[in-house]
Structure 1
Amino acid sequence: MRKPSTSSGGARGRPPKWDAFRFLKSHPKKFIAFTLLLIAYYFCLPNNLFKTPTATVVESRKGTLLGARIADDGQWRFPGVDSVPKKFKTCLLEFEDAYFYRHPGFNPVSMAKALSANISAGKTVRGGSTITQQVIRLSRKGKTRSYFEKAIELVLATRLELRYSKEDILGLYASHAPFGGNVVGLDVAAWRYFGLRPHQLSWAESATLAVLPNAPSLIYPGKNQQRLLAKRNRLLRKLFDKEIIDKTTYDLALLERLPQKPYPLPKIAPHLVQYMTKTYKGRRVATTLDENLQRSVNAIVHKHHRRLRQNQVHNAAVLVMDVATRQVLSYVGNTPTTKEHQKDVDMVQANRSTGSVMKPLLYAAMMDAGELLPDMLVPDVPTQIAGYTPENFNQDYSGAVEAKKALARSLNIPAVRLLQGYGLEKFRDQLDFFELGGIDKPADHYGLTLILGGAESNLWDLCKTYANMASTVNHFNASSSEYFEKEYSNPVLMKDQVVAFGGLSTEKTIFDAGSTYLTFEAMKEVNRPEGDESWQFYDSSKEIAWKTGTSFGNKDAWAIGITKDYVVGVWVGNADGEGRPNMTGVSSAAPILFDVYDVLPTSSWFEKPLDGFVEIDVCARSGYLASESCPIKTISIPNKKNYVGVCRYHQMVHLDPKRQFRVNSSCADLSQTVSESWFSLPPLMGFYYKRTHPEYRTLPPFREDCRRTDVPTMEFIYPKNGSRISLTKNFEGNTNELVLKLAHIKPETPVFWYLDDTFISETRNYHEIGLVPSIGTHRITVIDTLGNEVFVTITIE
């Protein structure tokens, strides 16, 4: 029997096995052409289909729209959506592409039907494009409609199907489909036509938007309403016939009206949108803002704006921060004023004169350095330092005032004197740590006015600073009495951002927890106007550390409040810098501050950082370290080296048996005298101090037979030695008098005034005279009946 013959063709009846290598040798050109076609097909689809600009979209922490800025090409086109709502997707597929999930990018049956209908009609009457093809057409915007272009779209559509999932393709369509006018994309369309987010749309609303991209001109208000209604209702009927919606839903959907006019996009935080656009232009930004709080603060600002504009004050800003997370909860950059009054200026970020809102930083710095105690008396008297003459806001003096009350009452003269004693350069260097925008010049540029508003900063950085200080106390108590290495951090605006506080350390960041706590305790004492105990803005049920500030010329009014959980900052003024009478931090900014705290959850007060304190004895009257002559009280102070001196305002004095005169060993047997601890201020401080302290007693005079001591009995209030003075003229053209004032330890004592050794006048009880010296240098001398003498030299210019 013969064996079957074999050959390269293989077994009988089988086609020869295809050999790629042999085919390549036999048909090299075809193989290369085929390979090039595959490469061309692979790379034919751009990596980025849509290069059109998008709007900047800012959302709240819960995803609600706070505001948006239109794209650079003038279109309302939001960044691409992550997913398409079920209702809209169902309506879209039933209307545009029922076989979307089963075709490879094109539908041959639909294309054949469309081609046949168009040839029969002699014009385009039906489209056969799938959603995938429509995405390609939208991406190739501006291309002419032709069969050749259709062929290109078909090829690109199949490539699109290979690169993206079906859900991604639907997302591309929903993000870039035209919905009439300059509205592009489902997100914007839902807001513009229904004032809703896409997932909130009803079946009727979803059906309306599903039919629009097919004929976007139908949406124009007042036009084509019947055509649009008919298209929508046909789609709803189709949904009902396919049992996608039930009879009740269908009937109710038919009753819904079409949109009559576009809704404006929300403008809940317009200045935040403006701020975020600088960094996140064209992106969708999920922020930390609480929408409900933002709306409440907006309403508060609107209410107060109506009051403020009666005084021609047109602008205000509010910032609310969460202390624990540093998240910004509310951002109101301005009032709803007019363009003429610069409503678009973001006053949260604008640098303005700080007024007195930095005084607590000096208080904390000196407390931290061990150079200040809360009850320590500081001078509040007429002061001139190197030609600079600070004045209190009420142009009055206390003589001497506790440091904590000086802060609470925002007294300028004590603040300036404390800054001089602490060191201007040292304090200016410490401010760099807080990174306060606007404070970028050396200490000499600002001088001592630095503490009174001579520098500029902004609401953003000031709120950040106080939030960091509050967090320092909270973290110290929550940890094992330790500090975070990165406690001082910037405010957080991005929803998913978390502050990295770093590791724990026993080393403070800048101010220790105890000094910060005592600063807040001082700020908790309300700086309400004196004599107005029923001040309407104070709610005693809420413990808030707060500080107001008013810049020179009443151009800026500030109020900053701190609780354990929240920091609220308020600025009020005119963006163009115009000052207005009666515009102060207390009267203009504080009412807004407390209204905002009223809508915030109530916070408990800061826990005292006990591990950061030690107890010491101080003089109960002066607040300095106790001496043997002082009545003593025990207080807690920050646990550090203390540089505060022993009380110098108490002294042991010897009185005669009737307690009428002081005596000493030159005139009396001290064993027969009465010894008493006496609180005595220098004459100038005592002169003003006793106005508000009727219990204050000046030292009795020495008995006439006793030798004088070196205790000063008189002091000039005005002028100070070395002053250079220019005398002004009144409306009649006459030169105003120079008023000379003197404080005497015993006011009823007669004193005699001399100008250049020439007797002028005698005064008693009230030591004040007026005169008009000639131009030049003069010596003014005062002598009392006991022979005490003081003098000053002045120059009249």
Structure 2
Amino acid sequence: MTVAKKHRWLLAAGIVVLLCGGMVLSAVLVDRAYPPPLPDARSLSVEVTDRDGALLRVFANRQGRWRLRPDLETLDAEFTSLLIAYEDKRFWSHHGVDPLAMVRAFAQMVANGRIVSGGSTITMQLARLLEPRPSRSLGAKLRQMARAIQLERRLSKDEILAWYLTLAPYGGNLEGVRAASLAYFGKEPVSLNLQQAAMLVALPQSPESRRPDRHAQAARSASLRVLERAAMKGLIDRGEVTRVSGLEFSVRRRPLPAFAAHLAERARAAAPHRLSHSTRLSRTAQRNLEVVAADAARRLGRRLSVAIVMADSRDGSILAQVGSAGYFNGRHAGWIDMSRASRSPGSTLKPFIYGLAFDEGLVMPETLIADRPANFSGYRPRNFDMQFQGDVSIRRALQMSLNVPAVRLLVAVGPARLSAILRGSGMRYALPASADRPGLSIGLGGIGTRLVDLVQLYTVLAASDGRPKALSNGIDPASVPGSANAPLSGVARWHLRDILSDLPAPAGSQQLGIAYKTGTSYGYRDAWSVGFDGRFVVGVWIGRPDNSAVPGLTGLNAAAPVLFEAFARSGYDIAPFRPPPAGAVRLARSALPESMRRFRSFEERLQQAPSGEAAPQIAYPPSGAHVALSRSTDGRYRPLIVKLQGGRPPFRWLANGRPAGHAVRRRDWQWVPDGPGDARISVIDAAGRSVGVEIVVE
């Protein structure tokens, strides 16, 4: 080193020592009078996350900037090491100002007559971000030094590093390493590769001239300089520099996550001061089903919208809630959340009419029922195709979604019973303005309900115990079941699953092993399809948000293919159905009791009963009773004595929907349960009248 150069370094060192000492003294003296500006969390972007903490949607802050706070514990360790080595190698030991770095910077300035390197620590850079000053004068640098010392007195090193990585500029309106990593690489900074980490270290020094989406070569060169310095300091092998320099470098700016847009908007509106909102959605399912909805809308037509809801019947979580074919899609009125719009559900409620009829002992799947023109006190339902099938089995009637058989059964069980099941399952619905109580039209969609409520209802069929779960997405008020009990017996639910899973897949779709039902509202306004496997329920609605008719739109040709695509692309495997419960078997029509081979209306059965004859009633056990039975030495339950009053003998007894032996004339019956749990005991008298009770065997 020459004498002149040595003198310059000594002069620089002396000046810096005096400056640093003065900065420390002045920072301490004016600390209270002139406190530094501190980071404000209110300036951050609002985040909406899924059940695992993954980002669903990010909102720009009030200044229109994407500003996300990183989690240092999950930040890529290689990125942090590169950053400290490149920007501030003594970051963890200095107190805001690094005298050695300042000596080097001041000596370079004296030698070159201009500022070559700033010698700024990360803390000083944070001070500049918090208190921006356009000039790079000596006075501005001294102020940064004083502010850095003040910040070190108030914030921990981790807090300083986290705020620097939150506020550092990364080009355009991107601030912070998380926003940059998501925008440039489409992922969180926890999983950066070496090339990406180096680029994000270099970018804040010149965020506009090194923007990788606009100035790829400048960004590439800067990132290689970061790696060269890291190799010189032994942080990485030099071979890594060679390897990275040979990699292709192509970066485009991506939009930040904007999934579940409707739900995210409601979350922010409900709690505008919160910076983070956690949902119960699955980002994978939400992302995939949004693609399914958008693809379907493009195929179906310009003004049609698509809504999809997926729920887990085990815990009531809504895993995906797609309100439209695209929130920002004006052609499909995407801003309207059709998953929460009230519409007529068409034939999607029919399975629950049949479930009630199974539980009442009125029919079995192979029972014949008439599909002929009928008049129910002025109500004359007709089938969708205006045709009638004559005598059909209950199984076939439900699979074909025939209207007249469904109404015949609804007359027998009563609209009030169906309404009670809907309410008890937590489904919310609205009657027409002209009706004060449910009528027969409820069975064919004569009510208004939402897709989320329809999915809520069908979780009863998918749940292992048949008990309704309160569906929740974590933001909207949860649906609350009206009852904790299963509204349908296990045998009735199994019959419905057996019938609906036997339907062929819609044209062009692969058979998936799910059960499903379709529905079309009056006037071709709404197309529905709801399906379930052994765990999940998916509901699809298709129509126009303005409620106008779409000629030819049906649940089978429009909604069902989307349902099958949603199951296939949800990201979850199809869950197998559980084994049938005790007493749940397929019986041929010839194996049914004579009185159950053909459905007869109440009037028909009443005509066969003598005038004044009392209808059968099970006197013991009462419905809802918990019966504790003792066991014999071989472990089998001892018989339960069931007592009957009224009715005309002989009597046909059924346990869990399965006939028990031949008809008998006695009014008491000994029943031996197969095991503990819910059970239904029914009896049919010679006039075809039936009655049943539900009990719990303990």
TM-score, normalized by length of structure 1? 0.62
Identical-residue share of aligned pairs (%): 28
Partner in structure 2 of residue 560 of structure 1:
530
* C-alpha distance in structure 2 between counterparts of 1:223 and 1:303, whole Å: 31
Q: Is 1:242 matched with 2:233?
A: yes
* C-alpha distance in structure 2 between counterparts of 1:363 and 1:144, whole Å: 79
Partner in structure 1 of residue 304 of structure 2:
314
DSSP 3-state at the match of 1:213: helix
Change (3 A) 1:629 1:224: closer
Q: Which among 566, 570, 577 is matched to residue 605 of structure 1? A: 577
Partner in structure 2 of residue 89 of structure 1:
80
Indicate the structure (1 or 2) with the bigger Cα radius of gyration: 1
Q: Which among 155, 161, 173 is matched to residue 170 of structure 1? A: 161
Change (3 A) 1:299 1:52: closer
Q: Which among 581, 584, 592 is matched to residue 554 of structure 2? A: 584
* C-alpha distance in structure 2 between counterparts of 1:632 and 1:431, whole Å: 29
Q: Is 1:449 matched with 2:444?
A: no
Q: Is 1:619 matched with 2:612?
A: no
Q: Which among 497, 501, 523 is matched to residue 524 of structure 1? A: 501
Q: Deviations over 1:275-305 (max 9, x none)?
A: 65556764274755262x5565455545544
* C-alpha distance in structure 2 between counterparts of 1:547 and 1:227, whole Å: 58
CA RMSD of aligned residues (A): 4.6
Partner in structure 1 of residue 380 of structure 2:
389
- Is the Cα contact below 8 Å between 1:56 and 1:70 reproduced in 2? no
DSSP 3-state at the match of 1:321: strand
* C-alpha distance in structure 2 between counterparts of 1:644 and 1:143, whole Å: 91
1:581 partner amino acid? P
* Superposition pairs of residues 724-735 of structure 1, within 5 angstroms: none
* C-alpha distance in structure 1 between counterparts of 2:77 and 2:373, whole Å: 75
* C-alpha distance in structure 2 between counterparts of 1:578 and 1:643, whole Å: 48
- Is the Cα contact below 8 Å between 2:303 and 2:331 reproduced in 1? no
Structure with more relative contact order (C-alpha pairs < 8 Å, separation 6 or more): 2
Q: Which among 253, 272, 276 is matched to residue 262 of structure 1? A: 253
Q: Which among 423, 431, 441 is matched to residue 432 of structure 1? A: 423
1:449 partner amino acid? S
- Is the Cα contact below 8 Å between 2:524 and 2:553 reproduced in 1? yes
Partner in structure 2 of residue 569 of structure 1:
539
Partner in structure 1 of residue 170 of structure 2:
179
- Is the Cα contact below 8 Å between 1:326 and 1:499 reproduced in 2? no
2:311 partner amino acid? M
* C-alpha distance in structure 1 between counterparts of 2:596 and 2:447, whole Å: 36
Partner in structure 1 of residue 491 of structure 2:
514
Partner in structure 1 of residue 314 of structure 2:
324
* C-alpha distance in structure 2 between counterparts of 1:499 and 1:441, whole Å: 21
2:338 partner amino acid? M
Q: Is 1:289 matched with 2:259?
A: no
Change (3 A) 1:500 1:213: farther
DSSP 3-state at the match of 2:430: coil
* C-alpha distance in structure 2 between counterparts of 1:369 and 1:418, whole Å: 11
DSSP 3-state at the match of 1:335: coil
Unmatched tracts of structure 1, length 5 or more = 1-33, 477-482, 529-533, 650-797
- Is the Cα contact below 8 Å between 2:351 and 2:398 reproduced in 1? yes
Partner in structure 2 of residue 490 of structure 1:
471
Unmatched tracts of structure 2, length 5 or more = 1-24, 606-646, 660-677, 690-698
Change (3 A) 1:174 1:228: same
* C-alpha distance in structure 2 between counterparts of 1:227 and 1:621, whole Å: 82
Post-superposition offset of 1:362: 3.1
- Is the Cα contact below 8 Å between 1:59 and 1:67 reproduced in 2? no
- Is the Cα contact below 8 Å between 2:303 and 2:332 reproduced in 1? no
- Is the Cα contact below 8 Å between 2:535 and 2:575 reproduced in 1? yes
* C-alpha distance in structure 2 between counterparts of 1:142 and 1:409, whole Å: 74
Partner in structure 2 of residue 99 of structure 1:
90
- Is the Cα contact below 8 Å between 2:97 and 2:124 reproduced in 1? yes
Q: Which among 188, 191, 196 is matched to residue 205 of structure 1? A: 196
Change (3 A) 1:142 1:456: farther
* C-alpha distance in structure 2 between counterparts of 1:42 and 1:379, whole Å: 91
- Is the Cα contact below 8 Å between 1:619 and 1:630 reproduced in 2? no
Change (3 A) 1:618 1:151: farther
Q: Which among 658, 665, 668 is matched to residue 636 of structure 1? A: 658
Post-superposition offset of 1:131: 1.3
Change (3 A) 1:238 1:286: farther
Post-superposition offset of 1:384: 4.1
* Superposition pairs of residues 103-142 of structure 1, within 5 angstroms: 103-111=94-102, 114=105, 126-140=117-131
* C-alpha distance in structure 2 between counterparts of 1:521 and 1:226, whole Å: 63
DSSP 3-state at the match of 1:324: coil
Partner in structure 2 of residue 682 of structure 1:
none
Change (3 A) 1:203 1:42: farther
Change (3 A) 1:230 1:590: closer
Post-superposition offset of 1:134: 2.6
Q: Is 1:54 matched with 2:30?
A: no
Post-superposition offset of 1:65: 5.1
Post-superposition offset of 1:111: 4.3
Q: Deviations over 1:78-97 (max 9, x none)?
A: 24434332222122212221
Change (3 A) 1:355 1:103: same
Partner in structure 2 of residue 757 of structure 1:
none
Q: Is 1:466 matched with 2:438?
A: no
Post-superposition offset of 1:566: 2.4
Q: Deviations over 1:440-472 (max 9, x none)?
A: 77862764332222222222222232224421x
Post-superposition offset of 1:183: 0.6
* C-alpha distance in structure 1 between counterparts of 2:88 and 2:164, whole Å: 12
Change (3 A) 1:229 1:566: closer
Post-superposition offset of 1:398: 3.9
* C-alpha distance in structure 2 between counterparts of 1:630 and 1:102, whole Å: 91
DSSP 3-state at the match of 1:319: strand
Change (3 A) 1:46 1:223: closer
- Is the Cα contact below 8 Å between 2:216 and 2:250 reproduced in 1? no
Q: Which among 549, 562, 581 is matched to residue 519 of structure 2? A: 549
Change (3 A) 1:643 1:508: farther
DSSP 3-state at the match of 1:357: helix
Change (3 A) 1:538 1:153: closer
1:518 partner amino acid? H
* C-alpha distance in structure 2 between counterparts of 1:631 and 1:468, whole Å: 29
2:526 partner amino acid? D
1:520 partner amino acid? R
* C-alpha distance in structure 2 between counterparts of 1:227 and 1:597, whole Å: 46
